[in-house]
Structure formats: C-alpha cells, structure tokens
Amino acid sequence: MDSKPSFRVTRRRFVTASAAAIAAGSVAASFALPSQATGASEQGQSGQRADHGPFRVIIDTDPGVDDALALLLAMRSRELKIEGITPVAGNVPLELGLPNALRMVEIAGRTDIPVAPGAKAPLLRHLVTATYAHGENGLGGAVFPEPKTTPIAEPAAEFIRRIVRKYPGEVTLIPIGPLTNIATALLLDTELAGMVKGIVLMGGSLSAGNITPAAEFNIYVDPEAARIVFQSGVPITMVGLDATRKTSLTEEHVRTLEAAQNPVSQAAAKIGRNAINRNRDRGFLVGPNMHDSLAVAAFLDPSILTFKDYYVDVETYGELTAGETLGYSPSVGDLRRKPEAEKQAATMNMSIRGSAPTLATTRTSPVLRDQWVPNAKVAVDVDSAKFFNLLIGRLSASA
C-alpha cells in the first residue's frame, strides 16, 4: 500500500499562513461569511429535497466503527455519485484508518471509488485518537483481510480541490471525522469555498461533549480546522451529538444484518456485534451510537432530522473547552419566543460577542459579528426509527 503522501508541507504552509490570524483570535480571517447562509442548499423548509440525484459527494472519514457503517451505507445508496473517499487521522491513526477505508470499498464491491490519503495529524495539535472506543484496529476488534486495493497518490486536500474545481457548485462534502482535510483544501485555494455546494458534517454539539464535558470528538481533535470550516461561508449542515445520541445500535439491528446474506450486511453485522460486545464489557448500558451513518442519512433524507438555524463558532483557546461548538440564536434558551415570533426574532440585531476583557487590558469585549446571521443548520432531533429503517434496510438489502 502506498503511504508516500504526507501533509508535513501542508501543516507548515498552514502555520505560515495562519499564525498571525490565530494570534489575533481569527483563524479563518481570510474567509467572509455570506450575507445570508441557509444551510445545505438541497434542503427546503420542510426538510425534503428540492432536487434529485445522483449527487456528487466526497466522503471524508476516520474509520472508525460508525464510519465503516456510514461508508457502507453511502456505497449502497444509488442517489450518490461518490467522487472519492478521503481518510483522515482521528478515531485511529491514518495508517489504520486508510486501510480500513480500503477494506470497506472492497467489501462493498466499489473499488472504482478512489481513496486519497489525508492528514496524519491535526493542523496545529498532536493527534488524540479514540481507540478506547473503536478498538486498536478501529473496527471494534472485527478482523478483515488486508486490502488488495491501493490508495491513489494524490493527497486528500489536493484531491478535494481538484474534484470541486472540476464540478463547481455540484460537489457536497460529507466529513464524518476531524475536519483537517477540508480545512487544508480551503486554505490551499481561497476560491474553493465558493465552489462547494455544501458540507454535511458529523461533529459538534450544543448539549455537552463526549470526549470532554464541552467538546465532541471530531471537533476536539482539530478545533482550528473546524473553525476554518464553520467560518468559510460554505452552507453547512451540522449533525452532532444533539441528534446522534439517539441512534444506538441494538442486538435486533445486528441480528437483521446477520440474517441477510450479502457481504455488506455480514461485514456490518461483524463490526456491529464486536462494537456492542465491547460496549458491554466496558459497562455501557447501550450499544454504540451511529453518529456518522446519521450524517450520511441526513444527506440522503433530511426529513429524518429536525433542524434549527444557528450561527456556530468553535472554541480554540479554552484550557477546558477547546473544541466546544457554540450555537448562537435569537430564539433559544432565555431568548425563546412563541413560534409566530421566531421569524421576527431572526431579524434582530444580535451581536456575536467574545469573552469579557480582563483587568490587565483596556480592551472592550470583542464583537465577532455585528449581526446574527446563521451559518449552519443544526440537527436538534431525529426520528430514530426512520433512520434505522434506512440504515439497516440498505445494508441488508440484496445488491
């Protein structure tokens, strides 16, 4: 397997290009938000699609138990034209995640899909993995043969850049791991954000984290990359823990997969059963949540989820809160209004403020945005039964 591509140069470029902006408290200072961001462009107010496939997508992933099932779901969904898969370090190091992605491509019989190796580490931080949750091999201990397929030589960020430029306005990015590859592509090409159709990501939380009390894992691993993505101006759909915590895989799901006689269902069942057993051995009351599969499902059928508009930003400096996703809205929390008054509230001049100044400075509280303009549609609830009907149904169906 060709492991030649490296992102050391890209990391150096990032530090050179962004150090001043980070010091000033604006990692993505070179990107301007549009006057109005409405979330994924293919989603209407009801959550139903206004257009029809096939949809060009790139799936960015760190396989990963739930990543593996998400990849299998995507490759079993005919609505998707998967232009490529771009592994990134996250749940496991890239040297494990990359072959795991290749294994899923082979299992699904989709070796026509190019797999481009991505970043081996976050932009500015040491890599933190989640082998504690996904096992040392990333697949919950489920063992599969070494892949025979090899990755392409082109690094993930360059691949993303090339494909988006080849099909401007047509490609949706579906990152289900840390956002290092996506941010790197945006930094390499400052015009790229205007060419991406949308981003549907698994990450973040408005209701506490899962690796720290504040942060969800994907954002925690590379908060600087996440901030670049959220401030890029690309329409974003955020599928985070607020919804994915309600997608626990069960014994019944695994038995349904085991009963289906196709390579995809058998592989999914093997991974799922190992993950459930691992959770039980560690004392958890429920099976693993299908975080990443829900992001893919959100793209396939947005009506599975309930969305609300937020301005989302990412904490990058906090000693205890780095990676926290903060959602600003004039109609939530203490600002909640009657449904008929929410539209009026959306026009309010709500400033987006940073932290209060310390006694050691004469500065005033920074105003990060003069007015509230949503940059993301955030999933706040999910129809779990409808989601699993889609996931298990597609994985267990005959090809």
> Chain centroid to CA 319: how far?
23
> Chain centroid to CA 218: how far?
7
CA-derived radius of gyration, the chain: 20
Catalytic member of 52, 126, 253, 291: 291
Would you say how long the chain is, in residues? 399
Q: Are 65 and 140 in contact (CB under 8 A)?
A: yes
Strand order of the β-sheet with 236-239 is 80-87, 55-61, 171-175, 198-202, 236-239, 376-382, 305-314, 325-328
Cβ burial of 209 (10 Å; 0-12, 13-18, 19+) is buried
Query: In this structure, how many other beta carbons lie within 10 angstroms of the beta carbon of residue 24?
Result: 9
The residues, ordered by sequence, that sit 6+ positions from 47 with a Cβ below 8 Å of its Cβ are 302, 303, 305, 306, 307
Residue-wise burial string across 223-245, b where 16 or more C-beta atoms lie within 10 A, e elsewhere:
bbbbbbbbbbbbbbbbbbbbbbb
Parallel, antiparallel, or unpaired: how do β-strands 305-314 and 376-382 relate? antiparallel
Q: Are 122 and 62 in contact (CB under 8 A)?
A: no
Clarify whether 253 is annotated catalytic: no
How far apart are the C-alpha atoms of 232 and 183, rounded to whole Å?
Answer: 9
Residue-wise burial string across 302-325, b where 16 or more C-beta atoms lie within 10 A, e elsewhere:
bebbebbbbbbbbbbeeeebbbbb
Q: Are 203 and 242 in contact (CB under 8 A)?
A: no
Measured CA to CA in angstroms, residue 241 lies from 59, 103, 148, 205 at distances of: 19, 27, 35, 5
Measured CA to CA in angstroms, residue 3 lies from 87, 180, 244, 382 at distances of: 12, 18, 33, 39
The residues, ordered by sequence, that sit 6+ positions from 352 with a Cβ below 8 Å of its Cβ are 311, 313, 328, 367, 368, 369, 372
What positions carry a catalytic annotation? 291
